[in-house]
Amino acid sequence: MPLPERSTWTSLPRSKAEAKRTGARHFYTGRPCKRGHDSIRKMPSGNCVACERDAAYVKRQRYHHAYRKRVTRERRRAEDLRKRFTPPWLSAEDRAAIKAIYAARPKGMVVDHFVPFEHDDELVVGLHVPKNLSYVTAAQNVAKGGKLELTQKQAHELVDAGLAIWRRDVSADFRMVNWEPYRPR
């Protein structure tokens, strides 16, 4: 329900008791609240409408600040993983192809790693290479999550195809990668 216009405030009940008696939703005392707002008050709480508006604004700002922090942290982590699992010997053409894949992403789609960096399977870790990237909807990406169950043979095929590396060659915290077994000879 919209608030009464400022020009009509003087016609509102002058106290909480009067507003309760008349069944009004607001009252106007004519005196500023404890924070100095000259505003109407709400029933049944008696709270100043301007104070509630300010509190709601602060709450929204805190939420958005926390949300932005979380999103920024997640983006940085994703970028860090992409950098960490991009093979050092990747050619300039492959790096350009990765950029092109991200740039050509259709609207409503996200770029997904067929073999993700982090997933349930303890055998392999996906690489950030062009042939491991595809377009999926955000819903499909979330549904896929970190689920990837592979047989030993499938894991060997992914490593041989250059889509993944063995999990044993990555530290537990994903900070160190042993690239030596995968370097082209």
CA dist., res. 54 & res. 140, Å (int): 40
CA 40 to chain CA mean position, Å: 38
Interval 135-163: pLDDT, tens: 999 898 888 877 778 888 988 898 988 88
Give residue 102's pLDDT. 93
Q: Which domain holds residue 44?
A: 1-84
User: Count of domains in the chain?
Assistant: 2
* Sequence-ordered strand ranges (E) for the chain: 26-27, 41-42, 109-113, 124-126, 133-137, 164-166
Domain final position from 27, 57, 84 = 84
Interval 163-182: pLDDT, tens: 889 988 888 888 888 888 88
Domain final position from 69, 84, 99 = 84
Interval 30-77: pLDDT, tens: 889 999 898 889 889 889 999 999 999 999 999 999 999 999 998 998
Interval 108-136: pLDDT, tens: 999 999 888 887 778 888 999 999 999 99
Indicate whether 95 and 72 sit together in one domain. no
CA dist., res. 60 & res. 66, Å (int): 10
Element at 63 (helix H, strand E): helix 49-84
Give residue 99's pLDDT. 95
CB 95 within 8 A of CB 128: no
Indicate whether 96 and 166 sit together in one domain. yes
Tokens encoding 61: 């700002």
Neighbours of 98 (CB within 10 A): 19
CA dist., res. 100 & res. 97, Å (int): 5
Element at 134 (helix H, strand E): strand 133-137
In this model, does residue 24 exceed pLDDT 80? yes
Give residue 185's pLDDT. 65
Give residue 96's pLDDT. 95
Give residue 97's pLDDT. 95
CA dist., res. 119 & res. 148, Å (int): 6
Give residue 127's pLDDT. 92
Indicate whether 12 and 58 sit together in one domain. yes
Domain final position from 84, 108, 141 = 84
Indicate whether 101 and 79 sit together in one domain. no
Residue with tokens 């709601």: 56
In this model, does residue 1 exceed pLDDT 70? no
Indicate whether 52 and 2 sit together in one domain. yes
Indicate whether 1 and 29 sit together in one domain. yes
